[in-house]
Amino acid sequence: MAYDKNNIFAKILRDEAPCFKVYEDDMTLAFMDVMPQAEGHTLVIPKSEAENLFDLDADYAAAMARTTKKVAAAVKKAFDAPGIMIAQLNGAPAGQTVFHIHTHIIPRAEGIDLKLHARQMADMDILKQHAERVIAALD
């Protein structure tokens, strides 16, 4: 499948769609997932037109890994999470719903179930507060 330049993440990168940014550098952007599976669910995307891992340039893959590590530490701290789940889905059969490569950072704790992926929009005021918590926790 050819890369769809009108996917929501491409629009976010072009500032044509809003997001709650928590981190940005020359190669990546991290922001709150609007359909979170848990409080603090954050996404990391490359500033590259790549549908999945197999389309992504190695330098952007490395940048995504660095940003994921940095932001995951902040999410863990901001939400006092005993665990962090890192997920990266490739293709619809794997559960990918937005076809711009992205990594999920999801705080985890025993006894708290995950919500279903890509099902329910979060309250925007709460997402803004969550973003502020992550930003404050970045070292």
Q: Torsion angle, CA of 106/35/12/94, rounded to 10 degrees?
A: 70
Two tokens at 51?
């549908």
CATH superfamily label, 8-137: HIT-like (3.30.428.10)
pLDDT reported for residue 117: 73
Give me the tens of pLDDT residue by residue for the chain, a chain 139 residues long: 689 999 999 999 999 999 999 999 999 999 999 999 999 999 999 999 999 999 999 999 999 999 999 999 999 999 999 999 999 999 999 999 999 999 999 999 887 777 767 678 899 999 999 999 999 999 7
Tell which residue, 77, 18, 71, 79, has the closest CA to residue 43: 71
pLDDT at 118: 66
Instruction: Calculate what percentage of the chain has a pLDDT beyond 90.
Output: 88
Cα–Cα distance for residue pair 27/110, rounded to 1 Å: 34
Residue 102 buriedness (CB in 10 A; 0-12 / 13-18 / 19+): buried
| Catalytic (active-site) positions | 102
**pLDDT tens sequence across 86-96:** 999 999 999 99
